[in-house]
Amino acid sequence: MRWFFVEDIKADDSIVRITGTEFTHLKKALRLKPGSTVSVFNGRGLKLSGRIESVGRDNAVVTVEGSTFNEGESALDLTLVQGLLKGDKPELIVQKTTEIGVKGVCFYSAPRTVPALDEDKARDRVQRWRRVAIEAAKQCGRTVVPRIDYVDFASALAGRGEGLRVVLWENERSRGMGDILEGCKGGPIALLVGPEGGFSADDVDEAVKNGFIPVSLGRRILRAETAAIAGVSIIQHRLGDLG
């Protein structure tokens, strides 16, 4: 079943129009014809399914036959707070953690490693990461597209709201993931992971002041993207719906 992202659909729509890049994909890449069954989702939980009625010059019309809400979603509200990495590692992280079921990925500019993005660049990159999240959601069959942000380190620490806060810190000697997740009764979780060069002791102090609890992933030092994917997987397994 092919999925298309159309942000402004409503639960009681009886027809839906697919336009823009989603339409180009439908027509040029997939060459779908009238009669094909498709799903259209809004990235906020709503999915409408039906048949293509017509394929025109710049839009396709879908007749809706059914709807679902929150299909494919974990009940766990987990946000990854991740230091910006070089190259296309952010894309990899967005793709994999979307599949594993995060509700949000908040990148922060990491002092000492990758230079902070200026406003224009940041806007472009966030747009690109959102696109990756949409494609990953389609591919894995989830109906909520994770929220993607890019902020500075102080805002990343401060803007976390309620819930459990965990910082992955390779110099933590005693506390492991199991210790902290045991007895955790749901509620939002923020998982903070360092950039390529890791955290300084001051960064971790700052995180602790903001309510983050340092946790080790074991004796081996993982690359930041590995730590992010492993950390999200462990939490989703223990408290969410992975496994």
Q: Which CB, 3 or 199, lies closer to ligand SAH?
A: 199
Closest approach of Cβ 230 to ligand SAH, in Å?
A: 9
> What is the number of the residue whose Cβ is closest to ligand SAH?
194
Q: Is 162 within 8 Å of 209 (Cβ atoms)?
A: no
Query: What is the length of the chain?
Result: 243
Closest approach of Cβ 46 to ligand SAH, in Å?
A: 35
Closest approach of Cβ 231 to ligand SAH, in Å?
A: 8
Q: Which CB, 71 or 170, lies closer to ligand SAH?
A: 170
Q: Which CB, 137 or 193, lies closer to ligand SAH?
A: 193
Q: Which H or E element spans position 237?
A: helix 224-239
In the numeric block, the tokens 């992971």 are attached to 193
Reduced to 3 states, what is the DSSP secondary structure of residue 40? strand
Closest approach of Cβ 215 to ligand SAH, in Å?
A: 7
Q: Tokens representing 176?
A: 């492991």
Strand positions, DSSP E, 19-103: 37-41, 46-55, 60-69, 78-83
Q: Which CB, 135 or 170, lies closer to ligand SAH?
A: 170
Residues that bind ligand SAH (CB under 6 A): 168-170, 193-194, 197-199, 216-218, 220-222, 224, 227
Q: For residues 51 and 63, give the distance between their C-alpha atoms in angstroms, rounded to a whole number.
A: 5
